[in-house]
Amino acid sequence: LDVTLPEPLPLDHKLLKLKNCVILPHIGSAETNCGKKMVEISIHNLIEYFDNKSMINQINVN
């Protein structure tokens, strides 16, 4: 994950305890092909959201 709310996360936050989750300090988009993929996923997720479907990369910590 590159962006969290709140930021930074409190030290006792559930996400920090997950073994399959990496928290990055806003450097996740530094990869060269990332911009195009971010746009594709964002458009896909907007469509899925308005159709009440599951979004790509959605995380539920509840």
Return the domain boundaries, the chain.
1-30, 31-62
pLDDT of 58 reads 83
pLDDT of 49 reads 95
List pLDDT tens digits, range 9-47: 999 999 999 999 888 887 777 777 888 888 999 999 999
Query: Quick check: helix, strand or coil at residue 62?
Result: coil
pLDDT of 3 reads 84
Q: Check pLDDT > 90 for residue 57.
A: no
CA distance 15 to 13: 6
What per-residue string of b and e applies to 37-56 under the rule 16 or more CB within 10 Å gives b? eeeeeeeebeeeeeeeeeee
Looking at residue 19, the DSSP 8-state letter turns out to be T
Catalytic residue among 26, 36, 51, 60: 26
Whether 26 is catalytic = yes
pLDDT of 38 reads 86
pLDDT of 48 reads 96
Alpha-helical runs (H) found in the chain: 34-50
